[in-house]
Amino acid sequence: MSDTIAMVPDGAPLSLASSSDIPTLLRDAIDAYGNGQGQDAERLTRRILAQQPDHLAGLQILAAIAGQTDRLPLALKVAQRAVSLHPDLASTHIQLANLLRQAGNLADATKALEVALCLQPDSAEAQNDLGLVHLAASEFRRAADRFAEALRLDPKSGLIHYNMALASEALGSLPAAVECYQEATRLRPSLVEAHFKLGLLLEEQGHRERAGECFRAAAALRPGTAFALLCEARVQGFASDDAAAEELVRRAISLEPRRSDAHAMLGTILMQGGRFEEAAASFDLANALNAQDILGPVGLVEVKQLSEADRPLIGQLELKLENPAITGHEAVLVHFALGKAYDDLGEYRHAIEHFDSANALKKRVRNKRYDHEAHAGLVDRLVQRFTPQFIARNRDMASQWDVPVLIVGMPRSGTTLAEQILSSHPEVAAGGELTFWTDRAADFGVDRDGRIDPAWMRETQSAYQVMLRQISPDVRRVTDKLPQNFHNVGLLHAAFPGARVIHCRRDPIDTCLSIYFNNFANGMDFSFDRAWIVDYYQQYERLTDHWRSVLPSSFLLEIGYEELVGAPEPVIRRMLDFCGLEWNEACLRPERNQRVIKTASLWQARQPIYGTSVSRWRRYEPWLDAFDRLLAGGHPQTRHVLSKQGSEWQGD
C-alpha cells in the first residue's frame, strides 16, 4: 500500500475513498489493530482520513502502525500533524516522543514529554516514557527515578514494573530487579520479556527450578518460534539433557540464522562438551552478528589459552567497558574475561586490576555479604554435634550401601580433576555437583537423647539411592562432587558409613586466589572479597580438622593437589584402592573423558594433567593483600612446590 495516500496535508484529502460511517470504521480499525491485523487497521484508518483528514484517532492509529512497521519518517510526519492540530493534548506529545525515541532523537523526545507533563502532571505514561528515554541514553539512575514516579501514579502497571526492573538490573540492583520482574509477570502475564529476564536472573542465582518455570512460561507465549526453542533448550540444560538442548538450539538457528544469542548459547553447550574448536566458531559468529554482544567475545576468552594473536579480541573487550550502556552484570563478565586474558599473556598487573574490578562490581551487583558469624556458628554446631559418641549412638540406623563417593574440599582445590580421574574408570559414573546433602541438611535434627529421627533417615537414604541409581543403575561407584559438601561429611557417614569421601587439598593461597579469579554463578557469596575468602577458608580448615579426628581412615581419604599433579600414578592408585576398584590405565588420561563439565574447570579438565598452577600465587605476590594471612597457616604439606616433571595438569 502506498504511503502517499496516508497523509492529508493542510487539511485536504489525497484520495477519493468512498464515504462510509466513520464511527464504524474507527471501531473496526481499533479492533483490527488490537488483534494484530495491522494491514486491515491501516486500510480502515486511511478511509477515515480520506473523509476527515484531521481525525485525531485516525492519525494516531496510522502513526502507531507506521512506527511498528519500520516507516519512521511517515510515522513522525503523521504524529507531528496530530500535535499541530491538538497541541493541548498530552497524548499527542507522548506519541510523538515515543517515535522520536525510536528514531534516536532523544533530545526532542525529552522536550515532547516535558510538554506532555506540563499539560498533564499526573501522567504515569509520560513519566514512564521519559524513563525509557533516560534508559536509552544509559542514564540508569534518572530512568529509575522516573519509573518510580510512574509507579507511584500507576502501581498496577505491569509494563512500568518491567521497565523499573530493566533500570534496576542496569544499575546492578539484582534483588530489586527480580522483585520488579516478578510483579510485572503477575500484573501482566502476557509480557513474555518479563518471564524470560526473570528466568535469566533466577538461573544466575542458582534457582533453577523457578527459572525453568519462567522459561517455560515465556516459550508458551511464543510457540513455534526460535525464541521458544531457546527457552526450552535452557530447561533441558537444567535437566542435564545436553544433547536435547543442543538439538533445540540448532533448530532455533535454522529458523533465525542471525540470532547472536543462539550462536552464543550453542558455543556454551559445545564448550561444556569439550568441543572447543566448534565452540570458538559459534562464539566468533555471535560476536560478528552483534557488535553489542558480550557473550560471544567473553566465550572466546574462556574457550582457549590466549596468545599474542588475540590482542584484537582483548582490545574489543576493553572498548566494551567504555560503552555507557553496559550494565553492571555485563561489566562483571568483561572484567573477569580480561583478567583471564591478561593472565594468559603473563601481564599479571593488568590481570589483577581486572579481577579486582570484577569482584568489586560483583559485590555491588549481587548485593550480598558473606556472613562470618553464620558460617562460624554452623561449623561450631557441626563440631559439637558429630562426636564419636553421637556417631556410635546412631550406628544402628546406618545403611551399608557403599556406592557413593563424595569429593569435597574448597572450590578450586582439585575436585573436578579428581572426579574426572575417577569417572574415567569403567566402573564409576560422574554425578557432578549434586545439592542433595546441602538441601537435606536444613531438615536434619535430633531428639533430646541425640538420636536422629528414624523417618528422616530412612527417607533420606532411600532418596539418595534413587538419585544416584538414576545417574547410573549398575556401576560400582557414583561420584558426588559438590566441594562445599565438606560441611556434610558427618551426615553422610551417619547415613552411609560404607561410602567414601575424598578430600582434595591444595596450597591455601593458590586455592583462594583461584576462587577470586573465577566468576561463580551462585552459592559462593564469600568469593568476591579477599578477606571473606580467607575467613571461609579458615572455617573450612577448622571443620576438616574435626572430620580428620573423628572419622575412620576407611571413610576419608585426603589427597594433595600438588602431589597428584607432580606424580599422578601413585596418587591415582591410592584413590582407586580406597574406592575398592581395580587399576585402569584410562584414569591416567582424564582429558580423554568426554563427559559434560559445567564447573569453572571445564577447559582445564580437557587438558593432559600438568602442574603449572602449582605456586601460581607467586606471580601475584605484590597484590596478595589479605591472602598474606595464609602464608603462615594451612597444612605444611601444601606449602612446598613440586617439580614440573612428568605429566602436567592445570586448574581445578
Q: Environment class of residue 24 by beta-carbon count within 10 Å: exposed (0-12), middle (13-18) or buried (19+)? A: exposed
Cell numbers at 125, concatenated = 505514561
**Distance between CA atoms of residues 138 and 271, nearest Å:** 33
Of 366, 389, 405, the last residue of a domain is: 366
* In a shared domain, residues 395 and 449: yes
Tell me what the mean pLDDT of segment 71-88 comes to. Answer: 92
Per-residue pLDDT tens over the stretch 466-496? 999 999 999 999 999 999 999 999 999 999 9
Query: In the 3-class helix/strand/coil scheme, how is 239-308 assigned residue by residue?
Result: CCCHHHHHHHHHHHHHHCCCCHHHHHHHHHHHHHCCCHHHHHHHHHHHHHHCCCCCHHHHHHHHCCCCCH
Identify the band that residue 240 occupies on the pLDDT scale cut at 50, 70 and 90: confident
pLDDT of residue 635: 43
Q: Which residues contact 34 (CB under 8 A, 6 or more apart)?
A: none
Q: Which residues pair with 428 in a beta bridge?
A: 477
Hey, which residues does 119 pair with through a beta bridge?
Answer: none
The DSSP element (H or E) to which 407 belongs, if any, is strand 404-409
Distance CA 127, CA 148 (A): 9
In a shared domain, residues 312 and 400: no
343 and 474 assigned to the same domain:
no
Q: Are residues 346 and 419 in the same domain?
A: no
pLDDT at 9: 35
Share of the chain above pLDDT 90, in %: 67
Higher pLDDT, 603 or 534: 534
321 and 414 in a single domain? The answer is no
Q: Given this model, what pLDDT does residue 611 score?
A: 62
Please report which helix (H) or strand (E) contains residue 192, including its range. helix 192-204
Whether residues 428 and 547 share a domain: the answer is yes
- Percent of the chain residues past pLDDT 70, beyond the cut: 90
Query: In whole numbers, what is the pLDDT of the chain averaged over residues?
Result: 88
pLDDT over 80 (residue 519) = yes
Contact 206, 522 (CB under 8 A): yes
Nearest alpha carbon to residue 479 among 568, 386, 595, 586: 595
pLDDT at 35 over 90: no
Element (H, E) at 44: helix 38-51
Position 583 in a domain:
yes
Highest mean pLDDT range out of 414-418, 444-448, 534-538?
534-538
Give the number of other Cβ atoms within 10 Å of residue 634's Cβ. Answer: 19
pLDDT tens figures, 45-59: 888 888 888 889 889
Residue 106, in any domain of the structure: no
Q: b/e map of 347-367 (b: 16 or more CB within 10 Å)? A: ebebbbbbbbbbbebbbebbe
Instruction: Give the residue among 488, 467, 480, 473 at the shortest CA–CA distance from 422.
Output: 480
Torsion angle, CA of 60/62/63/64, rounded to 10 degrees? Answer: 90
Nearest to 382 by CA among 483, 494, 460, 505: 494
d(CA 477, CA 500): 9
Is residue 166 included in any domain, yes or no? no
Same domain, 348 and 382: no
- Least Cα distance to 7 among 70, 115, 80 occurs for 80
User: Which range, 7-21, 267-281, 397-411, is most confident?
Assistant: 397-411
User: Does 231 fall in a domain?
Assistant: no
Domain coverage including residue 342: 305-366
Is the per-residue pLDDT at 638 higher than 80? no
Helices 568-578 and 415-422, packing angle to 10 deg: 70
Is residue 53 situated within a structural domain? no
Cα–Cα distance measured from residue 601 to residue 415, given in angstroms and rounded to the nearest whole number: 10
* 362 lies in the same domain as 406: no
Same domain, 324 and 465: no
Do the domain assignments include residue 79?
A: no
3-state secondary structure of 377: helix
Q: What is the pLDDT of residue 525?
A: 85
- 383 and 475 assigned to the same domain: yes
Could you give the number of structural domains in the chain?
Answer: 2
The predicted-structure confidence for 337-396, as pLDDT tens digits, reads as follows: 999 999 999 999 999 999 999 999 988 877 678 899 999 999 999 999 999 999 999 999
Binned at pLDDT 50, 70 and 90, residue 10 comes out as very low
Helices and strands, number each (H, E), in the chain? 30, 5
> Are 608 and 647 contacting, i.e. CB atoms less than 8 angstroms apart?
yes
Query: What is the grid cell recorded at 294?
Result: 558480550
* Ordered strands of the 428-430 beta sheet: 428-430, 477-480, 404-409, 500-505, 556-560
* Of 344, 366, 388, the domain-final residue: 366
394 and 314, same domain (yes or no): no
- Spatial distance between the Cα atoms of 313 and 331, rounded to a whole number of angstroms: 16
Judging by beta carbons within 10 Å of its beta carbon (0-12, 13-18, 19+), is residue 382 exposed, middle or buried?
A: buried
CB distance 620 to 507 below 8 Å: no
Residue 644 lies in a domain: no
Check if the beta carbon of residue 489 is closer than 8 Å to that of residue 556: yes
Verify that 353 and 487 share a domain, yes or no: no
**455 CB burial (10 A radius; 0-12, 13-18, 19+):** exposed
pLDDT digits (tens, 9 = 90+) for 449-465: 889 999 999 999 999 99
* 91 Cβ contact partners less than 8 Å away, ≥ 6 residues apart: 60, 116
> Is the residue at 613 inside a domain?
yes
Pure H helices in 307-444 = 311-321, 328-344, 348-366, 372-385, 388-393, 415-422, 436-441
End residue of a domain, out of 366, 382, 412: 366
